[in-house]
Amino acid sequence: MHSANHITNSGIEFKTAGPAPELSDFVESFWMLENPSDTAHETIGLPDGRFDIIFSYSPQEPFHATQMGLGTEPGQHPIPPRIVMFAVSFKLLAIEYLLDVKAGSLLNTAHPLPAGFWGIAKDDLDDFEHFCEKISAKMLSLVKPDIDERKKQLFELIYSSNGSLPVKELSEKVFWSSRQINRYFNEHFGISLKAYCNILRFKTSLHDIKGGNLFPNLDFADQTHFIKEVKKFSGVAPRELFKNQNDRFILLSALPKK
């Protein structure tokens, strides 16, 4: 398990780790976030094409678990003082083959999970590596067999291209009609394939924006289209995202430097 540490200018501490190969179709990453200060940190959450299960506690809130749905718009997400959060960020295939839920109703919302979910307790949030190992073992025991090869191939193409392939091309490559793919996406995720690809493309452009490159690389029609898409998903123009004053855009702050 490869992990990385990062502390933002505002003192928020991040750790991230990648999944074992046998979970890579379902899990994008594990992460932890800690706000060691006595004041809340105001942030704006950005759509990133993932959904999360988060375990957390703070002086204000007892230990609990939450499922965060797929985000399609920016949203205010204050990080409370002294909070500790450990989480799994999932790829979409996990909805059907690991969690067995339909996430359409979770779009841009959070849902509390039952006490004792997946056997994770507050003490498991003392050690990030231990948490990753324990929850990985649990997830491996839950993965369903006989994954539809078309779906697996579709998601491999979506993620490897960072959402830049047209729906028609994806459909032809996996021998699955665009209409059927969109029905599957809307039913399971509450979003069309094209809309999801747009989110992935936006997320990928954040690496360029963080590096100061405010011009698109990923098949945006032109600069105007790029700016429009960035504003749609972040609420601000690329230049303001790049400035990221006070680490407001937490996803951008957490991105590793290229």
Between residues 12 and 176, which one has the greater pLDDT?
176
Structure tokens at 106: 């979770």
Between residues 131 and 187, which one has the greater pLDDT?
131
Q: What domains appear along the chain, each with residue ranges and CATH number?
A: 3-142 (2.60.120), 149-254 (1.10.10.60)
Tens of pLDDT, residues 18-76? 999 999 999 999 999 999 999 998 888 889 999 899 999 999 999 999 999 888 999 88
Tens of pLDDT, residues 108-153? 888 899 999 999 999 999 999 999 999 999 999 999 989 999 999 9
Average pLDDT, the chain: 88
Give the C-alpha separation, 110 to 126, whole Å: 24
In percent, the amount of the chain with pLDDT more than 70 equals: 90
pTM of the model: 0.90
Taking residues 225-237, report their average pLDDT. 88
Is the predicted pLDDT of residue 83 greater than 50, yes or no? yes
- Enumerate the H helices of the chain as residue ranges: 93-94, 128-142, 149-160, 167-174, 178-189, 193-210, 223-234, 238-243, 250-254
Structure tokens at 190: 């509450």
Q: DSSP character for 175?
A: T
